[in-house]
Amino acid sequence: MLKFLEDQEIPLRQENTSIWRCAKTIIQFLHIIFKELRPNYFRGYGALPYTAAQELDEFVSKIQRLLGQMNDELS
């Protein structure tokens, strides 16, 4: 991509993005990833045993709480 832009003489914009904004973006991305690990997203792969689904849901909830706390600290 860089070579294409240079060949087309398209100037690159260099923006200064704060580390806080990068961190918050990564946290939001992780939040989405873990949301998709909830048991209802696994339906297409077949039934998940109740205890496994419950443990997975609890695990995801813990991780999402931690991500929420991290996000709050960065705000």
SS3 9: coil
Residue 31 to residues 28, 42, 52, Cα–Cα distance (Å)? 5, 17, 21
**CA–CA separation, 42 vs 44, rounded Å?**
5
**CA–CA separation, 46 vs 37, rounded Å?**
14
Q: Global pTM? A: 0.70
pLDDT digits (tens, 9 = 90+) for 8-19: 989 888 777 788
pLDDT digits (tens, 9 = 90+) for 30-64: 999 999 999 999 888 888 899 999 999 999 999 99
Give long-range contacts, CB 8 A cutoff, 24+ apart: 56-64.
60/34, 60/35, 63/30, 63/34, 64/31, 64/34, 64/35
